[in-house]
Amino acid sequence: MPKIKILPDTLISQIAAGEVVERPASALKELIENSLDAGAKFIGIEAEQGGMKLIAVRDDGTGMDGDDAVMAFARHATSKISELDDLANISTFGFRGEALAAIASVAQVSLKTRKRENEEGSKIIYKGGVMESKCATGCPPGTEVVIRNLFFNTPARKKFLKAENTELSHLAAVVSHMAMANPAVGFEFKHNGKTLIQVPALQTPQARLAAILGKNFLGEALPISFKTESIHIHGFIGRPGASLASKRHQYLFVNGRDVSDPMVSRAVTDAYGSRLPARTWPVFILHIDIDPVEVDVNVHPRKLAVKFVDTQRIFRDVMQAVSQSLLDFEQGMFQNAHLQNSAALPNASSEISLQNALNFSEKILTTQDRSQKLSLPTQLKILGQIANSYILVLDEEGLAIVDQHAAHERILYESFKRQSIEREAKIQPLLVPLNIECSPQEATFLRKAIGELSSFGFEFDEWSGNTFVIRSCPLALKSENLEKILRDFLDEVMGDAGISSKNILPERILKSLACKGAVKFGMPLTLTEQEELLRQLQKTPNLATCPHGRPTRVLVTFDELEKRFYRK
């Protein structure tokens, strides 16, 4: 008896579904792409339980007649390509004819569709890859696809799905990315009956980005436009200083297709050069419009990546486009600064830098004289602050250099931790409540983390959409910097892998809030502030390092000094 045999169609479809449909968000992406290919001007999306119970997509596109509706569920059936050469010139989102067949094999799916010129539509119901019914029905022009109980017949696949909030975050990301790439199309996304995204059609790219990512995000962006005969690169990049601790806000669309490409990310990063702080990543929303024959979109089962024919040219063009945008921005800053300086200091010369040096020296000398009168313990004497970042301290062992940010970070961390454990958060009510507008993903995360944040002293109210109102915050945080602290916190924590874990989240929030609220490098401190910082550090547990493990001080002992000066 032969060992090799042809697999049954149901099993073939389920294997294909494993490649195409990884999670609810994968199925949603396929359906939205079908709606866009059908010329939809409005796409309505509903989901329940993170898409695990229900995903419904309704559009006002061209629709299908009865025969095409049946064929849409057949494997490798498509209207997008018909011969081999078509693969080298794909301008549509879908082209393989696998999506509906794969989804229908692992879910309960119903489809209603009608062409505008037809008087009635068609309704088809599939369950586990088997058609259960087909009939005529009344419905508006366009197409509606409803997916229920995804992976109901493949429990081994279903157990790999994450918690509802995690799956919802992936759904929101898909809708957000599609909406950013298609400002001419209106989108509405509801989850468990609540509207999370609602944007009208025919928006400008700027208005669409502001609606999806928030006005603050767009306010930190620089426009980018680079065009040759063969390529058009356009969109926005973050201003220098707006970099993040993760690649979470890097968006790339190639011919409107939402993809990721390490080469493009590297080109953008290289263009920033030394403008980027260590271990940070630039923000960008890039559209690359290129002849379809110059890019292969058939390199990933879920169409999440593409392959350029001439990668070196793309790298050069992206890098040149970003560099030019940054240069234009910096030249504008330089011209403004030059005009202001010329008006205020018409005879400015090198004497200015000399005077600055003299003032700095005088300040240090004054600090040294005053250090004798500090009320610190006698074995500790503050000698001054250098580079607005380090505090020089003389103690019994030698000369200590204290990292003011690391020290304050440890102080805040232990304070927040103690208050959270004792449920006695020190709170400062805000005289003017702060409204913070979030992206759908940020809003989903905030709702998840709101209990932990409340234990540290935050008081949140949720408004309509994705807007939150903060009425109080921890006493240790500066209320005037609160919005930046919260946005930096969201960018850093949401970029962490595994943050959905209940055990990781509280600790990660603690570390991030302590880091974002601590005094920064380059921040001048008065002598009183330096003294208070050291006093608090002395009373803090685990004072040798910050919460991330970096030392709070470096000690140069008297013995080492004597050896360095050859006195020993």
Concatenate the DSSP letters of all residues of 500-518 into one string. Answer: T-TTHHHHHHHHHHHHHHS
Q: What does the pLDDT read at residue 29?
A: 94
Element housing 131 (H / E): strand 130-137
Q: What does the pLDDT read at residue 87?
A: 57
Nearest to residue 32, comparing CAs of 141, 180, 178, 184? 178
Strands (E) in 256-323, as ranges, are 257-259, 284-290, 295-296, 307-308
Name the β-bridge partners of 136: 122
The first and second tokens of residue 261, run together, are 């490409």
Q: What does the pLDDT read at residue 80?
A: 61
Q: What does the pLDDT read at residue 16?
A: 59
Distance CA 560, CA 473 (A): 45
Q: What does the pLDDT read at residue 117?
A: 95
Return left, alpha or beta for 392; rule: phi > 0 is left, psi -120 to 50 is alpha, else beta.
Answer: beta
Element housing 252 (H / E): strand 250-254
* Euclidean distance between the first and the last CA atom of the chain, given in angstroms as a whole number: 89
Q: What does the pLDDT read at residue 448?
A: 84
Q: What does the pLDDT read at residue 359?
A: 37
The pLDDT profile of the chain, 568 residues, written as one tens digit per residue, is 677 877 676 666 666 555 678 899 999 999 999 999 999 999 999 999 999 999 999 999 999 999 999 998 987 766 665 555 555 566 677 665 678 888 999 999 999 999 999 999 999 999 998 999 999 999 999 999 999 999 998 888 888 898 999 999 999 999 999 999 999 999 999 999 999 999 999 999 999 999 998 887 887 889 999 999 999 999 999 987 777 777 888 999 999 999 999 999 999 999 988 677 767 889 999 999 999 899 988 777 777 889 999 999 999 999 999 999 988 887 664 444 333 333 333 333 333 333 333 333 333 333 333 333 334 454 578 999 999 999 999 878 889 999 999 999 999 988 888 888 887 888 889 988 999 988 888 888 888 888 888 888 899 888 877 899 999 988 878 777 788 888 888 887 776 644 444 545 677 788 888 888 899 888 999 999 999 999 898 888 888 888 877 888 888 989 888 888 888 7
Nearest to residue 479, comparing CAs of 427, 530, 443, 418? 427
Looking up tokens 């109210």, which residue turns up? 461
Q: What does the pLDDT read at residue 86?
A: 54
